[in-house]
Structure 1
Amino acid sequence: MTAAIVDCPCGGGKYAQCCGRYHAGKEAAPTALALMRSRYSAYVMDNGAYLQATWHASSRPQEPVAAEAGLKWLGLDVRRHEAEGNSATVEFVARYKIDGRAHRLHEVSRFVREPDAAGVSRWFYVDGSFPEK
């Protein structure tokens, strides 16, 4: 499926030079913002393995993440990115349709940077909150 992707779902350019390199395991996302964008693309592409690998062990779901039937992601709008040391937050709005109805997911995501199992420093998604409307 990824071979047919030209433009990156996150809106950051060409897939191979954007999120594709992280999905392929060629390199780790260098910032929490890059990780969040690559996770959005992974949701669009139903890449549950990448989502599991980039989820912090303290909050990672037991079961792999799978796309909901009838869900179509429409776009991503990053509102804010703040990083301090080994922690960061990214606020975004992702638009999607399910069963023909449009929806918005507004989330403030928390990330941490720490060594992975191989000792390489990487960013991980911890959790998210949903601001009041």
Structure 2
Amino acid sequence: MSPNPYPRLLGDVTGSHVRFALETAPGVLEDIDTLLCRDYPTLAAAMQHYLDGVGTRAVQHAAVRLPPALDNALAWLAHTRQTLGLSTLLLLDHGCPPLASGADSALAGVCAALHHYLGEPYA
């Protein structure tokens, strides 16, 4: 029997903030929170802080939307997948057209892209 593929970690990084959410079932986003990028030396540190805050550790899949110019991007992104023990870390460009609409359209779009990448349907 395969492990439960949920929750999944979704993120949307701007120049100064990162918004995170957990996808707890197909298309269901919960625990949306915003953190300041400057408070974390790496994306992995920000992700771990978020996961600790919502009491979740068993995340296998994650997707994050990144701005086109992220200061010190390589250092901030370094070793994220390995540090968190993720099976999948999908990095998306803000330049891609939105895949969803609504108040949480960026996170919903990240969710849809992760489903597509994993070969799953997305409603």
Task: Give the TM-score normalised by the residue count of structure 1.
Answer: 0.31
The structure with more strand, counted as a fraction of residues: 1
Structure with the bigger RCO (C-alpha within 8 Å, sep 6+) is 2
More helix by share: 2
Who wins on radius of gyration, i.e. which is larger?
Answer: 1
TM-score by length of 2: 0.33
